[in-house]
Chain A
């Protein structure tokens, strides 16, 4: 029933979605002409027509705004022409960033779950910890990231761990907040019921609070996945990392390689979507064990 409704909704959404994408691409091409025209005119002969101008703006090596097909070509080249272990392959860079984001996500899950359990079960922690959890997110990640990287670097910790720490720093917040709400989701009767069985605290957690929280965990996880990726990319910026999508963005901007920047951006977006799809898949599997509902 439920599945049927969503697939119907998807069918209905396909056409508008395609229309929006086509419109965006059209606007993009127009924008590329407008933004690249001053630079392109310098290279064109006197009296060149609009056609020549458009063609020139869409095929520059260092455009202000690259045309979509340029990005597509760059993506294809950097994805498929090099072995994926080569630093020239975008797959390699994507993996460097994604592995840090995944490690950070694991760290965020553990920390978020631990904090939520503490906050839900210990009144003192609810009062004392929650304000700090919220305050942690008011500090911009761009301010925190260099400090973490430098401090950990001085301790001899480099590579994946500092990036994972920053990714985790961003991602633990939605997980903590979601799990606190989720672990508190059982209604008083469901809790009273456990009391009438003289259930131990561990049983109340594993048989009631945790299963009840899953409906809250997955939306939090969606936000956490994208934040972890953002965190991992931002963590690559301050140190001038050699590898990773952040490093590609940085290198691209140093050398004015706008096409490379955009390709890295698209790759990052694709990784984000992959992560979201993975969360959805796990959610679907979890829901299936519960008769289709979380």
Chain B
């Protein structure tokens, strides 16, 4: 599953541009926070190809979460053009183009684990048997097959977040948007989930847009790393990550890994230099 193989040219406005899952052109987003205008995103240009694993990394307030939410049509850009699968984010959302994993698991505490995973399937009107089969499959995939009948509060934070990943995978979206999904977890759990997510992405070939604070996490998971800076939120640098496609945790000790991490750190520092 290479990125290039999935790029298909399409005609638009007399231009031949590659079919991208997400394409942002000069996207800006201004919040009106109680009469005060806050520029969350300023002139963001970014193209995300099918099958890519793209991390957005940057300091707090750099707009990485806002950009992810804009892709999901949870925020509306003030100007510029943002397309998801060649459609407006709103159209893409209506076609259920993406699964979204939030910072917190956002499980519904009155539903057991399996019924939480089945929630999107219920809303989308899948037949009961199919819902059950998918819940079992995707809970198995995140290693929680034995916890289907537990309730969220009976699970650790890491397990809850895995349930929320299974829930996002359950309706089999081609695009997975993840907003610091492992931010609140301890290092060891986080390592385990990173490995898990990497294998999941390798196996399914879906496109992932992943927001993180962590340089090692971004380098370990991504094919491309988008470094952003704050005030206003903008893209500082896009780093192609040419580490081998199949990765394990030991990779993080290699000089190639550290070299990419170093580039990310330099880019983050450059973005910070003016304040």
Contact = CB atoms under 8 A, between A and B. Distances in A.
Contacts of B122: 207
Contact of A196 (B93, B108, B150, B151): B93
A192 B73 CA distance: 10
A193 B93 contact: no
Interface in B230-274: none
A211 interface: yes
Nearest to B90: A198
A212 to B, nearest CB: 8
B123 A211 contact: no
A290 B113 CA distance: 11
A214 interface: yes
Contact of B94 (A198, A203, A214, A294): A198
- Per DSSP, chain B at the interface is loop
A139 interface: no
A195 B102 contact: no
B79 interface: no
Given A196-B98, A290-B151, A211 B93 contact: no
Contacts of B108: 190, 207-208, 211-212
B112 interface: yes
Given A189-B102, A207-B122, A196 B110 contact: no
Nearest to A198: B94
A187 interface: yes
A291 B98 contact: no
A192 B72 CA distance: 10
Dominant secondary structure at the A interface: helix
A214 B144 CA distance: 28
Nearest to B153: A293
A255 interface: no
Nearest to B106: A189
Interface in A207-230: 207-208, 211-212, 214
A197 interface: yes
Contact of A198 (B93, B99, B109): B93
A197 B96 contact: yes
Interface string A100-124: 0000000000000000000000000
Interface string B98-126: 11101110101111100000011011100
Contacts of A194: 123
Interface in B65-90: 72-74
A196 B123 contact: no
B109 A293 contact: yes
A290 B110 contact: yes
Contacts of B112: 291
Nearest to B99: A196
B123 A189 contact: no
A199 interface: yes
Contacts of B98: 196
Interface string A162-205: 00000000000000000000000001011011111111000100
Nearest to B94: A198
A25 to B, nearest CB: 44
Nearest to A211: B110
Contacts of A208: 108
Given A207-B119, A207-B123, A290-B110, A193 B96 contact: no
Given A192-B100, A198-B94, 19 more contacts: A189-B102, A189-B103, A193-B106, A194-B123, A195-B74, A196-B72, A197-B96, A197-B119, A197-B123, A198-B123, A199-B123, A207-B123, A212-B110, A290-B109, A290-B111, A290-B151, A291-B151, A293-B110, A294-B110
Interface of A: 187, 189-190, 192-199, 203, 207-208, 211-212, 214, 290-291, 293-294
Closest 10 CB pairs of A and B: A291-B151, A189-B106, A290-B110, A196-B100, A197-B123, A199-B123, A189-B102, A197-B120, A211-B110, A198-B94
19 contacts: A192-B100, A193-B102, A195-B73, A196-B74, A196-B98, A196-B99, A196-B100, A197-B120, A197-B123, A198-B94, A207-B108, A207-B119, A207-B123, A208-B108, A211-B108, A290-B109, A290-B110, A290-B111, A291-B151
